[in-house]
Amino acid sequence: MRGKLERHRPRCHQRGHVASKLSSGVTSRRGKGPTPFSQTRPRSWFKRPARRRGPRGNRYFVASFGKNNDKKLMWDKRRLPRLAPEYYQGFAHVHWTHVSKNRHSISWDASLYGHFREVLLHASARYAMGCARYVCMPDHIHLIWVGASSGSDQLKATRFLRRHLDVSWQKQAHDHVLRESERSRGAFVDTCQYLRENPVRAGLVARVEEWPYAGNMVPGFPDLDPWDSDQFWKCFLAYRTSQAD
């Protein structure tokens, strides 16, 4: 009789199964069968596995699979992939996109835009960078930072910018580290021009010059023409030389 009952029990409750061995000695609940395996272990046993840095700086965690508890390295999908910190330091060229939480509209006006430029200037000066192009859109911000010294750190500058702007952001900013081919003069100008035309593609204005919340920035050059790329590079090279001294 017992052998027939064993065949109708779930595998996790059959005699000899690893789960039954771990839960041996636990009395059954009247009329409800054996106590579930999850109730035989302490809460700490089900603790979420610790996350760790992968070989390129991404966040991973170790998960167990199968009856042999084989270990496997899994990427934490709750965070965007990020390169190792050294890719954002020094003379890196990085395109950043900061998106508002739940894509809520940002009420751009003269006051908020002035505060944004003030915080951007502090971040650029503090971490030795120039902003080749920024465009403030209704629910996100594009900006391209260029490192001006070996001590530049764009990850720290990004945290500084997001912390001091009175905007509710998504949990993590998007980034794209420009490759060597994308940093050549022609390709880089095309990238900046593409960002500049975002308001036109979104139907906010008819011409790029009509959108007031865009420009560039180099610390120490307040009269920089926001649409003159040649002037930007002259000012940036002068700023970079001053950082080397």
What confidence tens digit (pLDDT) does each residue in 165-209 have?
Answer: 989 999 999 999 999 999 887 899 899 999 999 999 999 999 999
**Closest-CA residue to 132 (of 86, 212, 188, 211):** 188
Tokens of 213: 């919340």
Q: How many other C-beta atoms are found inside a 10 Å radius of the C-beta of residue 231?
A: 16
Question: With a threshold of 0.75, does the pTM exceed it?
Answer: no
Q: Where are the domains of the chain?
A: 1-46, 48-82, 85-244
* Cβ contact 71:64 at 8 Å: yes
How far, in Å, CA of 61 to CA of 52, rounded? 6
pLDDT-derived band at 30 (thresholds 50, 70, 90) equals low
Q: Give 108-174 as a DSSP string.
A: --HHHHHHHHHHHHHHHHHTTEEEEEEEE-SSEEEEEEEE-STT-BHHHHHHHHHHHSSS-B-SS-E
Fold of 85-244: Alpha-Beta Plaits (3.30.70)
Query: What average pLDDT does the segment 44-59 reach?
Result: 50
Report the pLDDT value the prediction gives residue 155, as an integer from 0 to 100. 95
Contact 22, 28 (CB under 8 A): no
State the Cα–Cα distance between residues 245 and 182, nearest whole angstrom.
28
- Greater pLDDT, 34 or 121: 121
pLDDT band at 55 (very low <50, low <70, confident <90, very high): very low
Tens-digit pLDDT profile for residues 146-165: 999 999 999 999 999 999 99
Side by side, which strands form the sheet with 93-99?
Answer: 174-177, 93-99, 140-147, 129-136, 214-217
Three-state secondary structure readout of 41-65:
CCHHHHCCCCEEECCCCCEEEEEEE
**What pLDDT is stored for residue 130 in this prediction?**
96
For residue 223, what are its two tokens? Answer: 């009269």
User: Which are the contacts of 159, defined by CB distance < 8 A and separation ≥ 6?
Assistant: none
Specify the pLDDT at position 19.
46
Distance CA(213)–CA(117), nearest Å, equals 10
β partners of residue 53? 59
Taking the alpha carbons of 118, 123, 125, 126 in that order, is the dihedral positive or negative? Answer: positive
Contacts of 223 (CB under 8 A, 6+ apart): none
31-45: average pLDDT: 57
Contact by Cβ (8 Å): 112, 100: no
For the chain, first and last CA: distance in Å? 90
In the prediction, which pLDDT does 9 show? 54
